[in-house]
Structure 1
Amino acid sequence: MTPLAAIIAARIRATGPISLAEYMQVCLMDSRYGYYATRDPFGTAGDFTTAPEIHQMFGELCGLALAQAWLDQGAPAPFALVEPGPGRGTLMADMLRAMRQVPGLHQAADVALIEASPHLRGVQRDRLGPVTHLERIEDIGSKPLFLIGNEFIDALPIRQYQRTDDGWRERLVGLSDDGLRMGLGPVVPLSQTGSVGDIVEECPEGAAFVEAAARHIATHGGCAILIDYGGWNGFGDTFQALRNHAREDPLAHPGQADLTAHVDFAPLAAAAIRGGAVASRPVRQGDWLRALGAEARAARLAAAGDGGAMAALRRLTHPDEMGHLFKVIAIWPKGAPPVPGFVALEAHADHA
């Protein structure tokens, strides 16, 4: 049993089973033993590899997409360039390098990161130099907000509900003789349809974050691009743990494995619309990167001697790799041009 597992078990004995949201929050962010609070989990030496760690072209294309959105909205200055959950700072570093090609943009950008982990804040300062760290979107003031979040929402705490004969019950983490185990709580009022055995997931923090960002964008201008693995109006248990690049039981090693869930983009788009902004239809990551010129960029890099560029292009865009699993949505103000690569989602429409 890990030290954090013992702490969680003691808490459950004292106060009863806890929600998956509480379990994820403790496992990922406990100040002494939490996964993100104590380590750098990225890359081949860690537990997983994100798109920015695969190749520089991912961040460059993301940066140029934001740059075009900035130009399309009249090149406001100053503006806040914000990344939540920025990992090592790799994506931001690659974006800034590409953005320096756009006259006036770099000087207008006030770079800020939203990061809860003190350990990762230090890693980000090492990569980017002095940088502003924020606690929440509301802390940026009244500047236009240009935001990108890559694999940010998937790590936010979720709640799960399972349909039983007598209604929906929340799935909770409790105890058995062998340690932590999943169980069901009392019946809860849930307005979902479903058959017995169905599981649905909710990410209240993700929806709240997107609504706050959309409200700021609707009022002050800017845009947001959110990239993650997931789908639209999803059902099923997607809660998972990754350790040493392999999946394992999410209850097996609390604090020593990454915990995530697939992102349901439908409630995020709805949250953006509630915030007064325009939300896009979801786009496959591979399709979006190709629309931004990923194939041409990879070819140029390969011609210049980058031996890994074409393999990276396949990994980022191919349907059998990240190309279809990962989706992208964008948010922009009403009346502004769409963010490059996106089409507006009609309110109340159902897009798979």
Structure 2
Amino acid sequence: MTEPLLAERLARAIALGGPIPVSQYMAAANAHYYATRDPLGSGGDFTTAPEISQMFGELIGAWAADLWDRAGRPDDAVWVELGPGRGTLTADALRVMARAGFRPPVHFVETSPTLRTAQGERVPQATWHDALTTLPDDRPLIVVANEFFDALPIRQLVRRGETWHERLVACQDTLFLPIAGASVPDTIIPAHLADAAPGSIIETSPASVAIMADLSARIVAQGGAALVIDYGYDGPAAGETLQAVRGHAFANPFEAPGEQDLTAHVDMATLRLVAAASGARSWGTVGQGTFLRALGIDQRAAALGEEVAGDRARLVEDMGELFKVIALTHNDWPQPAGFA
């Protein structure tokens, strides 16, 4: 018997148990989506910075090699990428790091069988993990998370009248739609947003907070650094950012769950606060364009020639302000490049 489509399974679950939180809907949709396809490139749904140009991964590799060098060249440091796509960023970074004498073991946190296959073609020496929990715990980690946190499930709260409510997903047949659920205590609403206009939406990501807390604690205990690059903002703030992308165009996030990429903008300020609460030093927030220029993308583009001018413009100008960059380091590690 053929397994029902995810939309049918979700519709049945909602019919039996009632509407589900947006976070549950998003988690189920993205788990199915990433497990069943390679979403990248012209034949997929979207393109990430490492796929636009080799310059992106090369500059991240230079960033890591420089930090490792100024930290005293620890010979047991490990390279980790969270959600490494096709492995392109790490493959490009490794070439640059090797020229600086830095040849770390590679660990990928990835659950998609399809993407693991693509990663293995580019970085065959990698070790794969389903979660952070099995990463090495006795040596420094240099972690990169590019467009990783945006795909983690979010919780949405919506204001109705004088009260805030959990936003849920209901279903009629296979038509999914957001509705206001039970009210939530005012105490969980940031003070500056408590009196937002009716219809306002606040997004939080408990999953992101949990992963950042785990990552920060590891870096505090083991040494190292982490670099987070994603489209985001410094919050908390009111506003809905949940979106779907399919065939390189925006789509309705409540249509065809599991068949399109669901993302939400990342609250970088909250991630920095989580890192600081764990005892790590945090850096940023800076725009991707500012960050890449500080790392030398203009000089690298000039060396590669006119054919990469368009790629440089996409990374620095088109994506330069929408995408934000933060870092966290162990207290004994130096300030990373790119953060004035």
Q: TM-score, normalised by structure 2?
A: 0.94
Q: C-alpha displacement at 1:178, in angstroms?
A: 6.4
Alignment of 1:13-28 (within 5 A): 13-28=15-30
Q: Within the alignment, does 1:157 sit opposite 2:153 as a pair?
A: yes
Match of 2:142 in 1: 146
8 Å contact 1:114–1:136 — kept in the other structure? Answer: yes
Match of 2:270 in 1: 267
Match of 1:252 in 2: 255
**C-alpha separation in 2, matches of 1:288 and 1:194:** 36
Unaligned runs of 5+ in 1: 344-352
8 Å contact 1:163–1:194 — kept in the other structure? Answer: no
Q: C-alpha displacement at 1:94, in angstroms?
A: 0.5
- SS across alignment from 2:284: coil
Match of 1:10 in 2: 12
8 Å contact 2:137–2:222 — kept in the other structure? Answer: no
Match of 2:131 in 1: 136
Match of 1:289 in 2: 292
Q: C-alpha displacement at 1:148, in angstroms?
A: 0.5
Match of 2:55 in 1: 57
8 Å contact 1:47–1:258 — kept in the other structure? Answer: yes
Alignment of 1:75-86 (within 5 A): 75-86=73-84
1:66-95 per-position Cα deviation (integer Å, ceiling 9, x unaligned): 111111111112111000000100011000
1:129-166 per-position Cα deviation (integer Å, ceiling 9, x unaligned): 13201133332221101001100000001110011224
Match of 1:223 in 2: 225
**C-alpha separation in 1, matches of 2:63 and 2:275:** 19
Question: What code does the residue aligned with 1:295 have?
Answer: D
**C-alpha separation in 1, matches of 2:303 and 2:332:** 36
- SS across alignment from 2:271: helix
**C-alpha separation in 1, matches of 2:239 and 2:195:** 11
Q: C-alpha displacement at 1:203, in angstroms?
A: 0.8
**C-alpha separation in 1, matches of 2:291 and 2:319:** 12
1:160-179 per-position Cα deviation (integer Å, ceiling 9, x unaligned): 00112242101111123661
Match of 1:312 in 2: 311
- SS across alignment from 1:308: helix
- SS across alignment from 1:200: strand
Moved over 4 A (4+): none
8 Å contact 2:7–2:174 — kept in the other structure? Answer: no
How many residues end up aligned between the 2 structures?
A: 329
Match of 1:205 in 2: 207
**C-alpha separation in 2, matches of 1:207 and 1:178:** 32
Match of 1:187 in 2: 183
**C-alpha separation in 2, matches of 1:46 and 1:308:** 24
8 Å contact 2:81–2:145 — kept in the other structure? Answer: yes
8 Å contact 1:229–1:327 — kept in the other structure? Answer: yes
Unaligned runs of 5+ in 2: none
1:280-312 per-position Cα deviation (integer Å, ceiling 9, x unaligned): 12010000000000000000011xxxx531111
8 Å contact 2:50–2:88 — kept in the other structure? Answer: yes
Question: What code does the residue aligned with 1:201 have?
Answer: E
Distance 1:123 1:84, change over 3 A: same
**C-alpha separation in 2, matches of 1:276 and 1:188:** 31
8 Å contact 2:233–2:324 — kept in the other structure? Answer: yes
What is the aligned-residue RMSD (CA, Å)?
Answer: 1.3
1:110 pairs, out of 105, 109, 122, with 105
- SS across alignment from 1:154: helix
Q: Within the alignment, does 1:299 sit opposite 2:310 as a pair?
A: no
Match of 2:322 in 1: 325
8 Å contact 1:166–1:187 — kept in the other structure? Answer: no
Sequence identity percentage:
43
